[in-house]
């Protein structure tokens, strides 16, 4: 396995972006954070992503609040288990230290200035660096509203970002196209 993409998603937008990035990377494995809790196999690059909540990386409390709000107003689909178990923050804390393995971070956030929305990818990158990873890239993918949908063209942009990282890391070329929906 050459690449692994680990993600946390509440409404499915981050999962869709993670899938597009994984496709762009070629033969990347795609794991939700709950599936990744069991540990990771060695890889060429680790890509980690999550939604931006309250100006940063989602917390247990922000995930629960987001799920409850979506259920109350009934306007958004909620990912199964979105508020259950440990999230990305916990997983990153438990991630095995490495000595310079490559990693990248991404987030989904509102289509507004980072000063107004925050950027979870920065927090993910910092946590990866603390675990010894060499962070080679970071990106934000935009959603129209807190629950989505993604802004038009973001899945294609996510695929292209993954493909660019694959080329830069010398990974096998990806198949053309993105199905991330």
User: Can you tell me the distance from the alpha carbon of 36 to that of 152, in angstroms, rounded to the nearest whole number?
Assistant: 29
Domain harbouring 145, CATH code: 3.40.50.360
Task: Kindly state the DSSP code that residue 181 receives in the 8-state scheme.
Answer: -
Tell whether 148 is covered by a domain.
yes
Domain membership of residue 174 (yes or no) is no
pLDDT computed for residue 180 by the predictor: 46
Q: Tell me, yes or no, whether 177 lies in a domain.
A: no
- Domain for residue 180, yes or no? no
The closest alpha carbon to 16, from 161, 164, 155, belongs to 155
Tell me how many domains the chain contains: 1
Evaluate whether residue 161 is within a structural domain: yes
Nearest to 7 by CA among 134, 124, 96: 124
Distances in whole angstroms, Cα of residue 82 to Cα of each of 22, 62, 125 = 21, 11, 22
CA-to-CA distance for 74 and 176, rounded, in angstroms?
36
Which of the pair, 67 or 158, is modelled with greater confidence?
158
What does the pLDDT look like over 81-107, one tens digit per residue?
Answer: 888 878 999 999 999 888 889 999 999
Summarised one tens digit per residue, pLDDT across range 6-20 is 999 999 999 999 999
Q: Is residue 179 part of a domain?
A: no
Residues above pLDDT 70, as percent of the chain = 93
**Residues 35-57 pLDDT 10s:** 887 777 767 899 999 999 888 88
**176 lies in some domain:** no
Positive/negative CA dihedral, 80, 81, 83, 87: negative
Domain containing 68: what range?
3-169
Residue 42 is predicted with a pLDDT of 66
pTM for the model stands at: 0.91
Instruction: Tell me whether residue 181 is in a domain.
Output: no
């Amino acid at each position: 396995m050459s690449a692994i993409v680990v993600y946390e998603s509440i409404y499915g937008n981050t999962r869709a972006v993670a899938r597009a990035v994984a496709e762009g990377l070629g033969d990347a494995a795609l794991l939700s954070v709950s599936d990744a809790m069991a540990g990771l196999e060695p890889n060429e690059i680790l890509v980690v992503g999550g939604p931006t909540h309250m100006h940063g990386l989602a917390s247990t409390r922000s995930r629960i609040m987001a799920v409850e709000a979506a259920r109350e107003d009934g306007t958004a689909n909620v990912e199964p288990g979105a508020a259950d178990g440990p999230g990305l923050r916990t997983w990153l804390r438990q991630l095995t230290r490495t000595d310079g393995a490559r990693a990248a971070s991404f987030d989904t956030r509102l289509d507004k200035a980072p000063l107004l929305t925050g950027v979870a990818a920065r927090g993910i990158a910092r946590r990866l660096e603390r675990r010894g990873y060499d962070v080679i890239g970071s990106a934000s993918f935009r959603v129209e509203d807190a629950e989505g949908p993604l802004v038009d063209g973001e899945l294609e942009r996510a695929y292209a970002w993954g493909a660019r990282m694959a080329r830069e890391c010398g990974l096998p070329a990806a198949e053309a196209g993105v199905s991330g929906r």
